[in-house]
Amino acid sequence: MDRLDSLRGAAQSHWVREAEPIALPDVRGVQDVIEAIDRWRRFAPALALLFKEQIPDGIIESPLRPIPRLAARYSHALAPPDLAARTFVKADHALPLAGSIKARGGLYAVLCIAERAALEAGLLRVNGDYSVLTTPAARQLFSSRQIIAGSTGNLGFAVGLVGRALGFETIVHMSHDAKAWKKERLKSLGVSVVEHRSDYSNAVAAARQAAQMLPHAHFIDDERSADLFFGYSAAAARLAEQLAERSITIDADRPLCVYLPCGVGGAPAGVLFGLRALIGPHVWGFFAEPTASPCMLMRLMGAPATASVYDLGLDNQTIADGLAVARASDFAFQLIGAQVMGGFTITDAQMLSWVAAAWDEERLRLEPSAAAGFPVALQDAWRLPAYAARRARMSGATHVIWTTGGALMPDEEFARLLERAATARLPG
């Protein structure tokens, strides 16, 4: 039977690499991560001026939060008894400004565009004072340029927020999956929103084509942008510090298991690339996707770059709008595919139930897509036969669930999610 058959019919599926990934980023790749970390440092003065109230220090970061009640209540019986003490949430659902992991990529990509334009115009010099990006002269320069992106919502908001703050004309093409409140939030910033009746891939293609028609447009390509990818990768630096602050050691006997929701793949791939570049080979990355949209899992299981979830008879319809992607980024796959430890699919009902559980137990305000890693981390990993040979090492592992969006969700939207989740509550 074709391995991909397990994904047909929107059935839950798990894939775990038989041999532990040993490939590491090459020297150039590690240097790219270090350069991204340094560039974020240079951008901080500009961000501090643009968003004085939200981030007076110009730093975009999230806490590493323990989740003892959630882990103690829902961890699988096979899990070690001290799992709750070694399970954390990397709370990117509450990142400053954009309220999602897309702040790491979207803000960084726009700032890179601004940096290159200012350097070219002679307004800025490398290692100079980057607060110059907020001056009237810079704003006048940027006002004659367009930034264009395709999005289901969160990336578009991150791009639109900083793009408009710097003075760029900003245009976001949004797929039919995008929530109405996300579109309205973008429009309130002065962003031009182009709505499509088609899916994410088609919205990105339309955005790409539109950018090609304008002489001064900059297209932020969610499917193949190095700026986005390495903007995400810089997250590894702070997580490494946060683990060290808690005296957590990562080595062969105590791996770091990281659970990342995956849509097109750029954000989870970038984060995992950075972690393995800075922390090393004992970082085990697991990607979680909706049963209707397992585009990256298809690639991990051997499907070609042209493969789409529609080829499996799936409809790509999911409550997790940020993960509703039919075809994975080949750019991201080429950089990280050989280093992913495992992939999983989960149902909409599961995501809803974990949204409710995370709120009830830990007061985490999550979008459905941001809850995708919980069942993998707390339940699935411990019952899979593929883990049998690794169970001893897993017993000493540290687990980090990356939550990716939700803090800026309107109250009424979150209340509706909790109402829907009431019929999908987890046992216990």
Give the span between the Cα atoms of 284 and 300, in whole angstroms.
15
Q: In terms of domains, do 264 and 352 share one?
A: yes
Give the span between the Cα atoms of 336 and 265, in whole angstroms.
10
SS3 308: coil
Determine what percent of the chain is predicted with pLDDT higher than 70: 96
Q: What residue ranges in 56-152 does DSSP mark as E strands?
A: 64-66, 87-91, 146-151
Query: 208: Cβ–Cβ under 8 A, 6 or more apart, which residues?
Result: 150, 219, 221
Residue 423's pLDDT is what? 78
Instruction: Give residue 53's identity as a one-letter amino acid code.
Output: E
Query: Does the pLDDT value for residue 272 go beyond 90?
Result: yes
Asked if residue 291 belongs to a domain, the reply is yes
The 10s digit of each residue's pLDDT in 35-65 is: 999 999 999 999 999 999 999 999 999 999 9
Query: Does the pLDDT value for residue 265 go beyond 80?
Result: yes
Contact 400, 239 (CB under 8 A): yes
Average pLDDT of the chain is 91
Buried b (16+ CB within 10 A) or exposed e, 71-100: beebbeeebeeebbebbbbbbbbbbbbbbb
Query: Does the pLDDT value for residue 427 go beyond 70?
Result: no
pTM value? 0.94
Ordered DSSP codes for 215-258: TTEEEE-TTT-HHHHHHHHTHHHHHHHHHHHTT---BTTB-EEE
Question: What is the pLDDT averaged over residues 59-84?
Answer: 91
Q: In terms of domains, do 122 and 180 share one?
A: yes
Q: What distances in angstroms separate CA 263 from CA 238, 278, 320, 372, one per listed residue?
A: 23, 24, 9, 11
Phi, psi of 193 (to 5 degrees): -105, 125
Q: Which of these three, 194, 224, 254, is where a domain ends?
A: 224
Query: Does the pLDDT value for residue 366 go beyond 80?
Result: yes
End-to-end CA distance of the chain: 37
Nearest to 351 by CA among 307, 407, 291, 395: 291
Query: Does the pLDDT value for residue 417 go beyond 70?
Result: yes
Query: Does the pLDDT value for residue 190 go beyond 50?
Result: yes
CATH code where residue 55 lies: 3.40.50.1100
Question: What is the pLDDT averaged over residues 409-414?
Answer: 94
Query: Does the pLDDT value for residue 426 go beyond 70?
Result: no
Which of 136-140, 189-193, 212-216, 279-283: highest mean pLDDT?
Answer: 136-140
Strand bridging mode 87-91 / 64-66: antiparallel
Q: Which tokens belong to 46?
A: 């500009």
Query: Does the pLDDT value for residue 23 go beyond 80?
Result: no
Which of 3-7, 9-13, 112-116, 209-213: highest mean pLDDT?
Answer: 112-116
Q: In terms of domains, do 163 and 311 share one?
A: no
Q: In terms of domains, do 166 and 244 share one?
A: no
Query: Does the pLDDT value for residue 195 go beyond 90?
Result: no
Asked if residue 244 belongs to a domain, the reply is yes
Residue 46's pLDDT is what? 97
Query: Does the pLDDT value for residue 268 go beyond 60?
Result: yes
Q: In terms of domains, do 216 and 252 share one?
A: no
Query: Does the pLDDT value for residue 158 go beyond 80?
Result: yes
Q: Could you tell me the pLDDT band of residue 1, with boundaries at 50, 70 and 90? A: very low
Question: What is the pLDDT averaged over residues 363-379?
Answer: 93
Domain total of the chain: 2
Q: In terms of domains, do 178 and 243 share one?
A: no
Residue 387's pLDDT is what? 66
Q: Which tokens belong to 91?
A: 């709370």
Give the span between the Cα atoms of 378 and 83, in whole angstroms.
9
Contact 262, 324 (CB under 8 A): no
Residue 142's pLDDT is what? 97
Q: Which of these three, 224, 253, 274, is where a domain ends?
A: 224
Q: Which of these three, 224, 257, 275, is where a domain ends?
A: 224
Residue 383's pLDDT is what? 76
- The kind and range of the H/E element at 280 are none
Query: Does the pLDDT value for residue 390 go beyond 60?
Result: yes
Q: In terms of domains, do 272 and 416 share one?
A: yes
Asked if residue 426 belongs to a domain, the reply is no
Q: In terms of domains, do 84 and 175 share one?
A: no
- The more confident residue out of 292 and 207 is 292
Give the span between the Cα atoms of 240 and 243, in whole angstroms.
5
The C-alpha torsion from 181 through 185 and 187 to 191, rounded to 10°, is -130
Residue 209, Cβ neighbours under 10 Å: how many? 12
Contact 28, 142 (CB under 8 A): no
Question: What is the pLDDT averaged over residues 401-412?
Answer: 95
Q: In terms of domains, do 326 and 238 share one?
A: yes
Which domain covers residue 188, as residue numbers? 102-224
Question: What is the pLDDT averaged over residues 368-389?
Answer: 83
Query: Does the pLDDT value for residue 27 go beyond 70?
Result: no
Q: Could you tell me the pLDDT band of residue 425, with boundaries at 50, 70 and 90? A: low
